[in-house]
Structure 1
């Protein structure tokens, strides 16, 4: 049987860092652009528009988009003072593993990073990583974890 990479969907509000994270993980040049549609990057990462989180009417589309993935990645910016993830949000994905990624840790205080981590824990992310797509901090641990999956 062919070895294939785990397919990961990135879910989070606009400007949480999903696109930049995907660019970093796939060795692309970092350049911000607003994600308008679902984008599959290198057959592994599924980058979703922030509107999928911000407007409940899109939850159905989010659920359908996640149907063929292996891992759900909830993405929370450390500098965002609030969260869009309701408690146990990850349970809507029907038993798929849910991980959390705290982004922008290079711009945040330790307290902000811990708060973002708590948001993700409460949302159902059992495994969580703290990363910066700008400095690379935490990225090796995330890449290693994904390789082991």
Structure 2
């Protein structure tokens, strides 16, 4: 996996996604990411950073350390925080990741539409629980 930065709303599943991509078993994570977390091959961001525009400069600065930007959309969310053409801010590939696609409340099409309006180049549909879509995502990240 190449260095990726995950951006998405609170409880979108960014930290959980990183854990399962590292090969760990799915588990409910009760703690929220409180600040930018730089790991060996990933940067995890707090959901509040995309939810509050005054944090955009922190996201843009942190993204300079990544090879790929990933906008993460929770398929069960009622609201998304990616402005139209948000991806155009970055000089690196910007992908979309829809999480929780196997949830009974999932609206995958709405999440995909939001990511498309944000300007992502490719969308991955994933579930940390069933591991659906994770192999394809991991292969893509390894090739970038």
Query: TM-score range, shorter-chain basis?
Result: over 0.9
Equivalence map 1:23-102=2 (5 Å): 23-29=19-25, 30-32=27-29, 33-41=31-39, 43-93=40-90, 95-102=91-98
Cα offset for 1:126?
Answer: 1.1
Q: Which blocks of at least 5 consecutive residues in structure 1 are unaligned?
A: none
Q: Which blocks of at least 5 consecutive residues in structure 2 are unaligned?
A: none
What is the rounded CA distance, in whole Å, between the counterparts of 1:140 and 1:102 in structure 2?
14
Structure 1 segments, 4+ long, off by >4 Å, are none
The two structures have a TM-score, normalised by structure 2, of 0.92
Give the total of aligned pairs. 142
Cα offset for 1:115?
Answer: 1.1
Cα offset for 1:37?
Answer: 1.2
**Partner SS state of residue 72, structure 2:** strand
Determine which of 117, 121, 137 is the counterpart of 1:126. 121
The structure showing larger relative contact order (alpha-carbon pairs under 8 Å, at least 6 residues apart) is 2
1:22 aligns with: 18
The two structures have a TM-score, normalised by structure 1, of 0.89
For the aligned residue pairs, the C-alpha RMSD in angstroms reads 1.4
Higher normalized helix content (fraction of residues) = 1
